[in-house]
Amino acid sequence: MVTISVILNVVIAASSVAAWISILLGTGDDRSLSHRGIGSLKYYTVLSNLFSAVVSLGYAKSLLGAAGTPVPAWLLVLRLTAATVVMVTFFVTILFLTPQYGFKSLYRGGNFWLHLVCPLLATADTVFLAPVETLPLWSTAFAMVPTALYAVGYIRMVLAHGAEENGRVYDFYGFLKWGEDKIDLVAAVMLLVTWDAWLRTGTSTGNWNQAATRPLFVRPLWRASE
pTM: 0.79
Q: How far apart (Å, rounded) are the C-alpha atoms in residues 163 and 195?
A: 27
Q: Is 95 contained in some domain?
A: yes
Q: What is the largest CA-CA distance in the chain?
A: 59
What is the model's pLDDT at position 200? 62
Domain containing 89: what range?
2-205
Q: Rounded to an integer, what is the distance from CA 213 to the centroid of its chain?
A: 25
Could you tell me if residue 217 is inside a domain? Answer: no
More confidently predicted of 138 and 61: 61
- Residue range 144-154: mean pLDDT, rounded: 85
Number of domains in the chain: 1
At 27, give phi and psi (nearest 5°).
-95, -15
Does any domain span residue 211?
A: no
- Sorting pLDDT into bands at 50, 70 and 90, what band is 132? low
Mean pLDDT to the nearest integer, 15-28: 86
Q: Answer yes or no: is 213 within a domain.
A: no
Query: Is 214 within the bounds of a domain?
Result: no
Q: Could you tell me if residue 165 is inside a domain?
A: yes
The verdict on residue 215 lying in a domain is no
Of 46-50, 74-78, 150-154, 213-217, minimum mean pLDDT range: 213-217
With bands split at pLDDT 50, 70 and 90, how would you rate the model's confidence at 223? Answer: very low
Mean per-residue pLDDT of the chain: 77
Query: Is 212 inside a domain boundary?
Result: no
Query: What residue spans of the chain are helical by DSSP H?
Result: 2-25, 44-63, 73-92, 98-101, 103-106, 110-112, 118-124, 141-161, 183-205
Of the listed ranges 13-27, 33-47, 80-94, the one predicted with least confidence: 33-47
* Alpha-carbon span 202 to 110, nearest angstrom: 28
Q: What is the pLDDT of residue 201?
A: 59
CB-based contacts of 214: which residues, under 8 Å, 6+ apart? Answer: 136
Report residue 199's pLDDT band, with 50, 70 and 90 as the boundaries: low
Taking Cα atoms as reference points, which of 86, 76, 186 lies closest to residue 139? 76
pLDDT top residue among 122 and 195: 122
Alpha carbon 1 to chain centroid, angstroms: 23
